[in-house]
């Protein structure tokens, strides 16, 4: 696995993907404290919940300064409005060599934006395979989340395990599915996709242009359970 020279910062047609900074804290906490988000995980509207979200934000900021860096949790921002619409990540610590765990989460206001999820997933997977030189990307999803399951299948991922999920899944009669995507399979699958916006998102030769576009602040961190 390679460690990038600069902070993460790349662009798609509609979004900016970049490392979080301290100035993003308020937006991140607002997403975490949204009533719809808390209801999904059964979190009450308490100071303890807010403190936990702040601690999570701190953890992801700390990851940016690790040497070598092994975890990447970045924000997804609307290019037109600079609004935080979600986050995505690759976590390489505690995984087999040259592999990472992938995750993506949109803020409650943007739930249901399937095309946004496709675009973000395409870019983060490409970043992992091309920039970090990963061999395998793994993840998990709820069995009832048909769109995410379809998304994993779109990129050539295969289901590797099924097990009981957390309480919020069990309440819906869902299980938790593990999936795995190998770089060779991803290359073959994406080679067949042409002339669509999704394909453009997958194939566009993005540049990690943080050297020119990065605006540094005192701290850099972000994330969410993925």
Asked whether the beta carbons of 165 and 36 are under 8 A apart, the reply is: no
Q: Which of 187, 188, 204, 151 is nearest to 17 (CA)?
A: 204
- Residue that is written with structure tokens 């050539």 in the block: 156
Instruction: Pull the structure tokens for residue 178.
Output: 């593990």
What local confidence, expressed as pLDDT, does residue 149 receive?
60
Going 206 to 211 to 217 to 221, the CA torsion angle's sign is positive
What local confidence, expressed as pLDDT, does residue 26 receive?
98
Answer whether residue 226 is part of any domain: no
Residues in contact with 182: Cβ distance below 8 Å, sequence separation at least 6, in sequence order: 135, 136, 156
Q: Which of 87, 109, 49 is nearest to 222 (CA)?
A: 87
- Residues 223, 98: Cα–Cα separation, whole Å: 22
Answer whether residue 219 is part of any domain: no
Q: What is the pTM of this model?
A: 0.78
What local confidence, expressed as pLDDT, does residue 169 receive?
65
Parent domain of 84: 9-213
Domain count, the chain: 1
User: How would you write the pLDDT of the chain (226 residues) with one tens digit per residue?
Assistant: 888 878 999 999 899 999 999 999 999 999 999 999 999 888 999 999 999 999 999 999 999 999 999 999 999 999 999 999 999 999 997 788 899 999 989 999 998 887 888 889 889 999 999 999 999 999 876 655 555 566 666 677 887 777 776 676 667 677 777 888 999 988 887 766 543 444 344 433 334 433 332 222 222 223 333 3
What local confidence, expressed as pLDDT, does residue 153 receive?
66
- Residues 16, 203: Cα–Cα separation, whole Å: 16
- Residues 37, 220: Cα–Cα separation, whole Å: 24
Answer whether residue 55 is part of any domain: yes
What local confidence, expressed as pLDDT, does residue 206 receive?
36
Answer whether residue 23 is part of any domain: yes
Answer whether residue 221 is part of any domain: no
> Domain of 207: which CATH number?
3.40.630.30
Answer whether residue 26 is part of any domain: yes
- How many helices, marked H, and strands, marked E, lie in the chain? 9, 8
Backbone angles phi, psi at 73, to 5 degrees: -125, 115
Answer whether residue 222 is part of any domain: no
Answer whether residue 4 is part of any domain: no
Q: At what angle do helices 114-126 and 146-154 cross, to 10 degrees?
A: 40
Instruction: Pull the structure tokens for residue 199.
Output: 């394909």
């Amino acid at each position: 696995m390679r460690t990038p020279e600069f902070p993460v910062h790349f662009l798609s047609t509609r979004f900016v993907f970049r490392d979080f900074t301290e100035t993003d804290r308020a937006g991140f906490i607002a997403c975490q404290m949204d009533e719809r988000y808390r209801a999904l995980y059964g979190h009450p509207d308490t100071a303890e919940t807010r403190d936990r979200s702040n601690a999570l934000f701190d953890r992801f900021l700390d990851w940016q300064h690790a040497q070598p860096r092994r975890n990447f949790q970045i924000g997804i921002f609307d290019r037109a409005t600079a609004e935080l619409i979600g986050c995505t990540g690759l976590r390489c610590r505690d995984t087999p060599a040259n592999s990472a765990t992938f995750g993506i989460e949109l803020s409650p206001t943007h739930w249901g934006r399937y095309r946004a999820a496709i675009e973000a997933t395409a870019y983060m997977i490409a970043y992992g395979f091309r920039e970090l030189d990963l061999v395998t990307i793994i993840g998990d999803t709820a069995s009832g989340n048909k769109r995410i399951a379809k998304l994993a299948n779109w990129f050539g991922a295969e289901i590797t395990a099924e097990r009981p999920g957390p309480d919020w899944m069990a309440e819906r009669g869902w299980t938790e599915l593990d999936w795995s995507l190998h770089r060779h399979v991803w290359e073959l699958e994406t080679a067949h996709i042409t002339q669509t916006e999704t394909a453009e998102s997958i194939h566009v030769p993005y540049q990690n242009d943080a050297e020119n576009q990065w605006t540094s602040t005192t701290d850099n961190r972000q994330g969410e359970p993925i």
